[in-house]
Amino acid sequence: MHQEHYGLKIIVILQITMSLYSIVSSLEVVCHFMESCILPCKLENGGELVLHWFYSEGDLLVHSFYQNQDQLGTQDQRFRDRTSLFKDQFPRHNYSLKLTEVRIQDEGRYKCFMSTTTGNRYSFINLKVEAPVSKVSLSQVENRITCSSDGIYPEPELTWSINPPSTALQNRTTVQQTDKQLYNISSSLMVSGNGSDLTYSCTVGTLGKKKTATVRQLSTKTTSSVTTIHCPGSDTSTTGLIWRFNQTQIILNQTKANLHPIVSDEWKKHVKDVSESGSLTLQDITSDQEGVYSCEVSKEDKTIITNISVRISPGEAKENPAVVAGIIIGVIMGLAIIAGVITIIVIRKCRKNAGEAETGL
């Protein structure tokens, strides 16, 4: 109790007299959301150390150190268990504060105040919180392309572009803020039915940092049970590769950390090989494997999605065994019926001829 009273008395005195002392430094620090961050403070001192960190909005007490130990009894609840000092650096006049699990609410101005027997000093640190764009996702359902990105701060901007340039793009963009004060952004774009020769790009950015996702349409035909679908855009800078079928089924997933692609159980019998350039070689394909294959290439600042419409020419592809069996059974049954009808006709004719012969006699 005596220490807490002593600490409160010091804080009151500091808040009253703080404006009387010169500002030693003013810095700006950018911290990433939910990561650890260092707020620097380096001041000359002498004698017994009394150190306080304040959050300017409301003069909230962030961290205190005096009587040669941390004093956290009056620490504001929002900073509980998230602050620490580098005590081994005190002899070097380093009184920086480590703040963990940085939140959007932590953004603002901080004071590092030190009182010693030789005088008082303080510095200001402006903390900016940033949650940069981590990924831009593109998905397409029929003629609608949707671009989205989540968990961004501050509020981002989204732009569309088309190559080659065409008429003005009609899109609808929505921005929502979560309970953690992060922003989610989404935009939908209607594309023309003959857009196979066009490339659509969506860019999301904040604080000058941007990421782009691009989607383009291709088509191919195959007449072989073994076929290779190429993946444009994949090279040595690729950090991730995903092949999908009809937008929803994941065929395989490959990352830079895991050089061997992970193939889904459903597609293991069809995936023969994946080349270093990302091309997908399929085997034993049937008409069931006709559809849209999507190759998604992830890089440091962009994502490239290529939709390849695959059509299998008749007569060359392997058919579904069940379908083939059904056709064979149908043919056999048809032949049996025809044979039965012929037999009945022959028997009736024979009986008729026999009857006529008897009448003649």
CATH number of 2-130: 2.60.40.10
Secondary structure of residue 305 in the 3-state scheme: strand
Give the integer Cα–Cα distance in Å for 121 and 112: 8
pTM above threshold 0.75: no
What stretch(es) of the chain map to CATH 2.60.40.10?
2-130, 132-206, 223-332
- Going from the C-alpha of 71 to that of each of 55, 74, 171, the distances in angstroms are 16, 8, 55
Secondary structure of residue 68 in the 3-state scheme: coil
Q: CA 7, 9, 11, 14 torsion: positive or negative? A: negative
Residues 6+ apart with CB under 8 A from 195: 217
Amino acid at 68: N
Which top CATH class is 223-332?
Answer: mainly beta
Secondary structure of residue 184 in the 3-state scheme: strand
Secondary structure of residue 228 in the 3-state scheme: strand
pLDDT tens, the chain, 361 aa long: 444 444 444 444 444 344 334 444 579 999 999 999 999 999 887 778 899 999 988 789 999 999 999 999 999 999 999 999 999 999 999 999 999 999 999 999 999 999 877 778 889 999 999 999 999 999 888 888 999 999 999 999 999 998 888 766 778 899 999 999 999 999 998 877 655 678 899 999 998 899 999 998 888 888 777 899 999 888 888 899 999 999 889 999 998 877 789 999 999 999 999 998 899 999 988 888 999 999 999 998 899 999 898 988 765 445 455 544 555 666 577 676 776 667 777 676 666 665 555 555 4
Tell me the H-state helices in 170-311: none
Which top CATH class is 132-206?
Answer: mainly beta
- Compute how many other C-beta atoms are within 10 angstroms of the C-beta atom of residue 352: 10
What tokens does 241 get?
A: 């590769």
Nearest CA-CA partner of 60 in 41, 38, 43, 82: 82
Tally of helices (H runs) and strands (E runs) in the chain:
2, 24
> How do 271-274 and 60-66 pair as beta strands?
unpaired
Amino acid at 228: T
Helix (H) / strand (E) containing 326: helix 321-360
